[in-house]
Amino acid sequence: MGPAERGGRIAAEVIPNVKKATLRCVVLKNVEPGSIVSTDELMSYGLQDGDGYKHGTVRHGDNEWSYYDYRYDAIHNTNRVESFWKLSKKSVASTHIHFSAKHATRYLGEFSFRSNHRAMANAMFNLSIAAL
């Protein structure tokens, strides 16, 4: 799962399942109460309204990719998260060849780091040198 702040960081992590209780824990840990949350139509995401989030659902099954929500004066879409997962999968296919469940947390840590530092020129090199 990978909650992403609009214009900010992504916090991807490995989860054991997509049940409501599991997703709720990740959302409560990573998203401030009262935030506007955009998700796809997975039924387990229905929890956000009851936890004080302003929740909007994009219905990909109906060919809906974005919409304006008059209730919250917000545009709902999942483009940032979808893009993150697509780039992560492409990276595995081109760099790592195989995605091992044993190392999934490490892969997601690397992909999250790359995504969160994409605006910095030579981010990984500079941060690696600074860590020495």
Give CA–CA dist 27/78, Å, rounded.
15
Which tokens hold the place of 1? 């799962």
Query: Given a cut of 80, is residue 4 above it in pLDDT?
Result: yes
- Residue with token string 């995605």: 99
Query: Given a cut of 70, is residue 42 above it in pLDDT?
Result: yes
CA distances from 66 to 19, 28, 40, 96 (A): 24, 24, 10, 33
- Quick one: which H or E segment has residue 49? none
Reported pTM: 0.80
Dihedral angle, C-alpha 121, 10, 111, 43, nearest 10 ° = -150
Which pLDDT value is given to residue 16? 94
